[in-house]
């Protein structure tokens, strides 16, 4: 099926491209060094509607579709990948999850501040001993009158330190597998809820990744998201959407690496001519561009299916798998084309290479994406067909 963007989608893309290249891009390298959370820029992004892109207008959001969202996200990632991951988790796994599973009171309380960028959102499921296998998580939420008491530690939480609202999962029934997991909305400052260590990371340095510690943290029953036992399905549904976002981040970063490599190859002269004249490099550039385009189409395909209300779990995993592996190949080639300069901090490609590395890991490793895809192929509902 061919894909054509609407005038509105093209307008959003152009608006975000201008903003990202004027505001985010010039300071991205410095942010990588300082590791400073991009709070001010996130505020500006909120003014443009980028912090509640798919939140319905009645809750203060832009009410955009997923295709518009991925267009925006890839532009932000092109300019600053650390800012893009904050935007991605905030929009796809927090705002969308509260919009889809929250009751009216929860939507009223949380969506507006999130969409206005006054509050940043985080999502906490991973634990020190439960990464790819979240069913084995050990954080517990025990009912005590009209409260739950939460105990446990979450790990690798994007925006953990800077988030005002965090969706967490915890076991409400330890005798059950995934059906014993529930989801909760926890506010910053709740007694018993604290931020633990912040990771020193290879890339995405301006986005904080922290432990979250729950030590007899009491939250009211009203902060349960959905019903008791719904937590695993809520998390999996949210990750389906999040994975399209990782594909968009991958495409944005890969395009940035390609563009940097093209301009360097035209400028740099060796053996008396621009290195872009050498077939070995031309073929590298051609492969990079082709792979990016393939990833972009998978991203649009998954986003389009989501927008049409069709099942898109497998397609989201395919887009995430291919795009995240693609960007690792493309940034490595982009760095190679820059030769020794690519390895220095004078040029942006070393940052892109570092930033991209986690894309095959977070929101489900490549291996988990293959599990999801294979489960669908071998499931009862799969109908193989040529399109």
Known catalytic residues are 363
Spell out the long-range contacts of 228-231 with Cβ–Cβ below 8 A and sequence spacing 24 or more. 228/172, 228/173, 228/182, 229/172, 229/173, 229/176, 229/179, 229/180, 229/181, 229/182, 230/101, 230/182, 230/183, 231/169, 231/170, 231/172, 231/181, 231/182, 231/183
DSSP letter, residue 174: T
Contact 219, 183 (CB under 8 A): no
- Given the rule CB under 6 A, which of 22-30, 37-45, 121-129, 346-354 is the region that contacts ligand CAA? 121-129
244 is an interface residue for ligand CAA by CB under 6 A: no
**Could you tell me how many residues of this chain bind ligand CAA (CB under 6 A)?**
24
5 is an interface residue for ligand CAA by CB under 6 A: no
Taking CB positions, which residue lies at the least distance from ligand CAA? 364
- Single out the residue of 68, 74, 126, 331 in contact with ligand CAA (rule: CB under 6 A): 126
CB of 160 to ligand CAA, least distance (A): 8
Residue 6 buriedness (CB in 10 A; 0-12 / 13-18 / 19+): exposed
CB of 81 to ligand CAA, least distance (A): 12
- Single out the residue of 9, 158, 162, 210 in contact with ligand CAA (rule: CB under 6 A): 158
- Single out the residue of 23, 51, 89, 114 in contact with ligand CAA (rule: CB under 6 A): 89
CB of 289 to ligand CAA, least distance (A): 28
Taking residues 177 to 196 in sequence order and writing x for each that binds ligand CAA by CB under 6 A, - otherwise, the string is -x------------------
Buried b (16+ CB within 10 A) or exposed e, 330-357: bbbbbbebbeeebeeeebbbbbbbbbbb
Determine the Cα–Cα distance for residues 308 and 317; give it in Å rounded to an integer.
17
Sign of the C-alpha dihedral computed for residues 42, 48, 49 and 53 taken in this order: negative
Taking residues 347 to 386 in sequence order and writing x for each that binds ligand CAA by CB under 6 A, - otherwise, the string is ---------------xxx---x--xx--------------
313 is an interface residue for ligand CAA by CB under 6 A: yes
* Residues that bind ligand CAA in the complex, under the rule CB under 6 A: 89, 123, 125-126, 132-135, 157-158, 178, 232-233, 236-237, 239-240, 313, 362-364, 368, 371-372
């Amino acid at each position: 099926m061919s894909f054509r963007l609407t005038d509105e989608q093209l307008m959003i893309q152009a608006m975000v491209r201008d903003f990202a290249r004027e505001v985010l891009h010039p300071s991205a390298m410095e942010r990588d060094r300082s590791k400073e959370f991009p709070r001010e820029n996130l505020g500006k992004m909120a003014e443009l509607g980028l912090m509640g892109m798919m939140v319905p207008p009645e809750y203060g959001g832009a009410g955009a579709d997923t295709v518009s969202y991925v267009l925006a996200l890839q532009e932000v990632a092109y300019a600053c990948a650390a800012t893009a991951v904050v935007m991605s988790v905030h929009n796809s796994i927090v705002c969308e999850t509260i919009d889809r599973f929250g009751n009216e009171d929860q939507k009223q309380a949380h969506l507006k501040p999130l969409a206005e960028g006054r509050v940043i959102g985080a999502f906490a499921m991973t634990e020190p001993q439960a990464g790819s296998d979240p069913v084995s998580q050990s954080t517990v939420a025990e009912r005590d009158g009209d409260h739950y008491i939460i105990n446990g530690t979450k790990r690798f939480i994007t925006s953990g330190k800077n988030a005002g609202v965090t969706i967490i999962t915890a076991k409400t029934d330890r005798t059950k597998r995934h059906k014993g997991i529930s989801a909760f909305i926890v506010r910053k400052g709740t007694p018993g809820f604290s931020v633990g260590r912040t990771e020193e990371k290879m890339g995405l340095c301006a986005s904080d990744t922290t432990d979250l510690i729950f030590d007899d943290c009491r939250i009211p029953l009203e902060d349960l998201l959905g019903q008791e036992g719904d937590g695993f399905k809520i998390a999996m549904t949210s990750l389906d959407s999040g994975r399209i976002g990782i594909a968009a981040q991958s495409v944005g970063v890969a395009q940035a690496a390609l563009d940097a490599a093209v301009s360097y190859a035209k400028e740099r002269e060796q053996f008396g001519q621009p290195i872009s004249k050498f077939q070995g490099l031309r073929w590298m550039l051609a492969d990079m561009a082709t792979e990016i385009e393939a990833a972009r189409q998978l991203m649009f395909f998954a986003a389009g299916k989501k927008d049409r209300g069709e099942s898109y779990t497998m397609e989201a995993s395919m887009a995430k798998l291919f795009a995240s592996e693609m960007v690792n190949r493309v940034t490595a080639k982009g760095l190679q084309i820059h030769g020794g300069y690519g390895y220095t901090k004078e040029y942006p490609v070393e940052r892109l290479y570092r930033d991209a590395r986690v894309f095959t890991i977070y929101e489900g490793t490549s291996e988990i994406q293959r599990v999801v895809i294979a489960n669908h192929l071998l499931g009862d509902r799969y109908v193989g067909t040529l399109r």
